[in-house]
Structure 1
Amino acid sequence: MKIDLSGKTALVTGSTAGIGFAIAKGLRDAGADIAINGRTQDNVDSALARLGGAARGLAMDLGTPEGARDLVAAAPSFDIVVNNLGIFQPSDFFDTTDDIWERHWQINVMTGVRMARAYLPGMAERGWGRMLFLGSESAFNIPVDMIHYGVSKTADVSLARGLAKRMAGTGVTVNSILPGPTLSEGVAAMLKAEVTAGKTLEQAGADFVKAHRPTSIIGRPATVDEVANLVVYLASPLASATTGAALRVDGGVIDSIM
């Protein structure tokens, strides 16, 4: 099986680091023309340097309507859009303020809404496109210490399913991807204290999974490349019969056969 994205243009939101950067690299390696997105020009420039080769940088804060408008004005058309931008913040429900809820909603959900509204019509006109949303196993396995995050990810999965139905018959597919714990920079920062105490990052990650995601079958976090591999396949012409799906790359955390 050979994935060839030559001639396709792709935007990955929030792609200066972590899963987003791995997805951008995977799409680029498959031949796509890539646009990297981040909030600051410095972060975007650094990611472009690490990516190597030709790629476009779009430094806009997509957590705001203004940032989304600026990005669409600068780049009005893409064949593939991966809505990767997202945040998480542990917080007990009773300590989670409206501001925290609103920030998660704007960044984790409304960014994808705005990207879909901007780019799906052009995909439909051309008769081909891929719109992908990074959900999470937390969409189904709501974390008690991040209920606000879980709710936002459930919304992403619902959004993708609804949009898949809306785009029926156009040649455009819409899917969501459900990573579990993944060794991104954000998770590494969360585990910093354990690493400082003498564990390797991989050991700290495995201990976290066993303690907080005991249903994990692989017993460790995924790598960012393992998540990116699934996204690259779904972005390709090979995945033309897959739409409206929530596909898991969670290491078996969600305790369900569906």
Structure 2
Amino acid sequence: MDFGINGKIAIVTGGATGIGYAIAKTFHDEGAVVVINGRDQAKLDKACASIGPRAHGVVADLMTAEGATRLSDFAGGLGPVSFLVNNIGVFDVNDFFEVSDERWMEYFQHNLMTAIRISRIVMKDMLTRNDGSIVFISSEAAIRSIGNMVPYSTTKTAMLGLSRSLAELTRGTNVRVNSYMPGSTATESVETYFADLAAQQGKTVEQALADFYRDVQPSNLTQKLIDPAMHGRGVVQLMTNQAMNGLCHRADGGTIRSIFG
């Protein structure tokens, strides 16, 4: 299928690993020029070599305004940015009563402010050109709030509100803003989490995963971690569908019992 993105510029924040990498790889494979960012040039170079020859890695920390400007300037130097994927995020399992104010602020900085800083620059240019598509990578935890991941759930819910609010600014234009809500995915960090959990419990990883879906996510219809490549395809489809604006696209394996999304 031709998504009509050949030669167009796509920024995928945090695109060196995990879901971000899968999205960047899909954009590249469909003909786009891809720009990813991170803090480690060596990791970026390795990711870009794997993604392909039209991939560019920029050392730019979106925890700062300077980093957002550096990323947007680099991508803009290649051409008008047609796609922005806000993918940066952190998560961990924690006790709500033990999470400090400082850690809460780190969550807001990573999961929201990084997206706000780069969107503020890129979206303004998109509106001026009357063309462009933005997606915020949220999580099933935005709807299925998780008690031992309260800061993560809270910031991912806020991301849905941010996405819809920005979509309201696109009324009558050719710019679109959506959010994408993946479920538990076989990224490096998630696989490490289950490997550590299995070791703590004296089980195999397969047993730990089976127990997770039986006890924590019994409503999940696939009963397995999602291949990140599936999210790459899903995001590109969402971002190139002119009929989709202001919505949240679920890709959670059916965990959330809803016929909407």
TM range (shorter): over 0.9
Does residue 166 (structure 1) correspond to residue 169 (structure 2)? The answer is yes
Number of aligned residues: 255
Match of 1:199 in 2: 204
Match of 1:209 in 2: 213
Structure 2, unaligned runs of 5 or more = none
The correspondence of residues 110-149 of structure 1 with structure 2, limited to 5 A, is: 110-149=113-152
Other structure's SS at 1:108 match: helix
CA distance in 2, matches of 1:229, 1:14: 17
Matching residue within 105, 109, 113 for 1:106 = 109
Match of 2:251 in 1: 249
**Contact 1:206/1:221, CA 8 A, preserved across alignment:** no
Question: What are the superposed Cα offsets for residues 187-236 of structure 1, whole Å, 9 maximum, x if unpaired?
Answer: 01101235666735x66444433332221111111110111111010122
**Contact 1:36/1:47, CA 8 A, preserved across alignment:** no
Matching residue within 192, 205, 230 for 1:189 = 192
Question: What are the superposed Cα offsets for residues 43-91 of structure 1, whole Å, 9 maximum, x if unpaired?
Answer: 1111012112221111112123332233233334411000011110111
Question: What are the superposed Cα offsets for residues 224-254 of structure 1, whole Å, 9 maximum, x if unpaired?
Answer: 0111111010122xx1010100010000111
Does residue 223 (structure 1) correspond to residue 227 (structure 2)? The answer is yes
**Contact 1:23/1:229, CA 8 A, preserved across alignment:** yes
Does residue 93 (structure 1) correspond to residue 96 (structure 2)? The answer is yes
- RMSD of aligned residue pairs (Cα, Å): 1.7
CA distance in 1, matches of 2:246, 2:46: 35
Shift of 1:37: 1.4
Structure 1, unaligned runs of 5 or more = none
Shift of 1:9: 0.4
Report sequence identity in percent: 38
Structure 1 counterpart of 2:136, one-letter code: F
**Contact 2:83/2:239, CA 8 A, preserved across alignment:** yes
**Contact 2:62/2:118, CA 8 A, preserved across alignment:** no
Q: Which stretch shows the higher mean deviation, 106-115 or 210-219?
A: 210-219
Match of 2:68 in 1: 68
Structure 2 counterpart of 1:130, one-letter code: S
TM-score (normalizing by structure 1): 0.93
- Runs of 4+ in structure 1 off by over 4 angstroms are 194-198
CA distance in 2, matches of 1:249, 1:57: 27
Other structure's SS at 2:81 match: coil
CA distance in 2, matches of 1:207, 1:63: 37
CA distance in 2, matches of 1:91, 1:147: 8
CA distance in 1, matches of 2:2, 2:71: 31
Match of 1:40 in 2: 40
Match of 2:10 in 1: 10
Structure 1 counterpart of 2:164, one-letter code: R
Other structure's SS at 1:256 match: coil
Structure 1 counterpart of 2:69, one-letter code: R
**Contact 2:126/2:132, CA 8 A, preserved across alignment:** yes
